[in-house]
Amino acid sequence: MDLNKIPELINKITEENYSMADKELFNTVLRNYKSINAIQGDIIECGVWRGGFSVFLSHLFVDRKIWVCDSFGGFQSFGDADYKKLTYFDEETEQLTERFQKENDLVMNIPLRYVKGVFKYFGLVENERINFVKGFVNKTLPNIKIDKIALLRVDVDGYSPTREVLDNLYHKVEKGGMVIFDDLCLVESAEGVKDWMIEKNLPLEVHNPYDDTIYSLKDKIADSETGYHTGSYIIKK
């Protein structure tokens, strides 16, 4: 697709509710397009909802293999043993988490056939370039056939799933590659990212998706559950 037509595509995806990301989060990738496109590797999104962001990535990176990964059947388990190790986890939190899952599965349980239909609606079909991967990330990612990654978007709404994505894929991200954390506004996801970064001796710093400035995960800077911006990202060094 002509780059000049990408803003029109973003408008259509967001206005017709095929993605929960706002336009600025799409524009974050668009601003970094040249640097991402200059390195080798596939494009992969883990957790795609209705598929709108993956559609955008497919049209933007036309010469790259695209991986669209999701359970296509609701969330991976909430309230698991890993969550209970976290200091914020208590009986009240567990009850809230369980209710969140029950209420949102109806909204989040988007079947694969629907997402493929969204791709078709935007002029895309499954082929050797566009790959749909169905299943929970702890089962699918260990077997995924990817050697190098240029862009990884993590949107799996949970502590363990977030860590599983990073454990299986981060080492495949090329130097200069982009890793987007969609769920840093959620406690479980933010703690997953922070714990993983600490274990890997990575600096607790991410880019603000709205102006590309760097901020520390030791500080609270946004009006959200965690104080962090959804869609914050890092550039692998």
pLDDT in tens, 138-190: 999 999 999 999 999 999 988 899 999 999 999 999 999 999 999 898 888 89
pTM of the model: 0.86
Residue-level length of the chain = 237
CATH number for the domain formed by residue range(s) 3-235: 3.40.50.150
137 neighbors 167 (Cβ within 8 angstroms): no
Continuous segment of H or E residues that includes residue 218 = none
Kindly report the CA angle at 46 between 169 and 22, in degrees rounded to 5?
125
Backbone angles phi, psi at 78, to 5 degrees: -105, 160
Three-state SS annotation for 136-177: CHHHHHHHCCCCCEEEEEECCCCHHHHHHHHHHHHHHEEEEE
Which string of DSSP letters, residue by residue, matches 46-95?
A: E--TTSHHHHHHHHHSTTS-EEEEE-SSSPPPSS-HHHHTSTT--HHHHH
pLDDT in tens, 68-124: 999 987 655 444 434 333 333 334 444 444 444 444 444 557 889 889 999 999 999
